[in-house]
Amino acid sequence: MNNPFDGRAPNLSGPARDMLPITPSDVADLETLCIGLYAEGAGSITFTSERGGVRTINVPEFSIIPVAASRVHATGTTATGLHGFTV
Taking the whole predicted model, whether its pTM rises above 0.75 is answered as yes
pLDDT of residue 13: 63
One-letter amino acid for residue 80 of the chain: T
Q: What digits encode the pLDDT tens for the residues 5-45?
A: 566 666 666 678 899 999 999 999 999 999 999 999 999 99
* pLDDT tens digits along 50-63: 999 999 999 999 99
**Dihedral (Cα; 31, 33, 36, 39), 10-degree rounding:** 20
Each domain of the chain, given as residue ranges in start order, spans: 18-86
- Sheet bearing 69-73, strands edge to edge: 54-59, 43-49, 69-73
